[in-house]
Each structure stands twice: as C-alpha cells, then as structure tokens.
Amino acid sequence: MEMENTPEDERKVTSDRNEKPEKKEIYTYEAPWLVYGMNWSVREDKKLRLAIGSFIEEYNNKVEIVELDEDTGKFERTGAFDHPYPTTKIVWMPDRPGSRPDLLATTGDYLRIWQIQEDGEIKMEGLLNNNKNSEFCAPLTSFDWNATDPSIIGTSSIDTTCTIWNVETSQAKTQLIAHDKEVYDIAFAPSADVFASAGADGSVRMFDLRSLEHSTIIYESPNLVPLLRLSWNKQDPNYIATFLMDRNHVVILDIRSPAEPVAELKGHHQPINSIAWVAHSSCHICSGGDDCQALIWDLSPLPKQIVDPILAYNAEAEINTLEWSALQPEW
C-alpha cells in the first residue's frame, strides 16, 4: 500500500468505548512514528494490550507492545523490538485462556514468530521461510492465524501464492498458486480448513485444505480492479467483506450466492484502507479510510439496501488500519 508523509496526528492509536449511553471515552497513544500494523491481544489476562508496528520507509522498523493502565487512563509501553521493514500485519496467537506461550506473529519480508516472556523480554522464536534455496524473498502482504487450530497460519504473497504453515514445526504444510497476480490478503473461516484470499487480479477465492485441487471464485470486481483486503464474519461465516483499490465503498459478499455482492456500503468520500467485523455481532462492520472517518454499519436490514452508517468517528488524520477487540466488544 502506498503511503505518503502525513501529519503528526496520524501517529496515534485510538480506542473508543461507550460504558454508558451519555459517557464516551477515548484513549490515545501517540507513537514516535507512523502506525500501520496493529492488533488486539486475545488473552483473558491481557485484555487491554495492543501490538503496533511502525511504517518507516527503510529497513529498520519497530514493533511496540502497549497496555492501557485503567487507573491512569493512559497507554503504557511494556515492550518493543526491532523489525526488518514495516510489518504488513501483526496478529497475537488466538489463545484466550492464556494456556500457551504468549506469542505474536508478524509479516514483512518473512513470517516471524515472537514470544513475550514473563520478564517482559521479547525474543524471536522462529523465522519461517519456504524458499531457502534463494537469497531473495517475495514479500508477504498479509496473514491470518487460525483460531480453530492455533498451530496453523496462512500467509499471502506478491508471488501469487498462499502458504499454510505449521507453527509448531516451523514448516510449510502446503503452498499453492492462489491467484493470477499478487495476493493481497488471506483470511480463515471459523473452521480449521477453509480460507479465502483476495488479490490484484480482482477476485476473492475460497479454498479448502482438504481439497486444494479446486477453488471457488466468490467474486470478481468490475474491470478486475485489485482487491486489497478481506475480512470474514466470524459470527456468521456466510459473509465476507472486501474493498477495491482506490475505491470508497465496502463490498459485502454472501458465499451462498457468489458473483454479485449482497451490499455495497457507500459512506466514505475517499479510498478505504481497512475493514473489521464487530467481534460480538453478526451484522455490524466497521470501515476506515483516507477521509479520516471510521464508520460502523448495521447489516441487519439486508436484503434491503444499506444507505447510511449508524455511527461515525472523525479522526484527526487518515485511518490506516482498525481492529475490533474480541475480548472487549465495546472497544
């Protein structure tokens, strides 16, 4: 994704919570650099923890771990580590009980696994590389950590492939040519075997790890405009959301009736950068874009046309990414 120099205000991560109808709380953490990668922790004992990644146009980048101190109402940095190139995505291990090691994964040039130790130190547990015969690598555009089977991570790459990894062995389970051009995103369904991808060829495709000989094209954009991101509704797995490059609307797909979108959410005035389904709801989704707006949409009227969002948050600068907390549904 092309990024430009932005005002200092864009270097902020903001959380919005409504505890009472008349009380609105916003907590802000200002990073020393432009923030791009970001993800909420899913551990019960770390509910208010975020990992954020820098976007610096050089080799040396950073990832910070920040936690909200509810007594002071401020985010505090609890850890940091150097990262080669900006992170294209950051995801915490889907381990809600906290019974496994405290792991974090990032993508950029490679897929890396990091462990946050009890003393707060962060060390790299593994660098997963399926092309050891070459000194060159095809950058990874995104990845997803399978919540049903946390031993599985799927990555997408500009070399047209998706790779499914076994995190425990640090080995690739399978690699497949998923699209005709670069693959920009990958997301697992709420299952261990099914995933979808979106890419520069303008298509959303669905795969089943039990039968990789075939894939299903769920959607092709008008004029095959590249699709930048997709997000699978974890409460109602019939729905997938995506958006087109340099376009200002969100496309909602129903995998039961592929090809034609069931809705197009048109509320932004400039291109969209990020989408996220509300973790606890099957019919709410949030979108953020270059128009400095985060819009929350209610899809419950479907199949009727969705005209306007139900809520809007105006940021001080462009919104690069947004994430909805799985543990704190009001965030």
> What are the pLDDT digits (tens) for 126-168?
999 987 666 778 999 999 999 999 999 999 999 999 999 999 9
pTM for the structure as a whole: 0.90
Look up residue 312 and give its DSSP letter.
E
**Nearest-angstrom CA–CA distance, 331 and 328:** 6
Cβ–Cβ under 8 Å, residues 85 and 107: no
Burial 278-302 (b: 16+ CB within 10 A, else e): bbebebbbbbbbbbbbbbbbbbeee
> What's the token pair of residue 170?
């640090």
pLDDT at 8: 40
* Cα distance between residue 144 and residue 91, in whole Å: 7
Q: Identify whether 301 is preceded by a cis peptide bond (ω within 30 of 0).
A: no
What pLDDT score does 47 carry? Answer: 85
Please report the pLDDT score of residue 9 as a whole number.
Answer: 44
What's the pLDDT score for residue 219? 96
pLDDT at position 7, please? 37
According to the model, what pLDDT value does residue 21 have?
A: 40
Residues of the chain with pLDDT under 70: 1-24, 132-134
pLDDT on residue 26: 86
Beta bridge partners of 171: 166
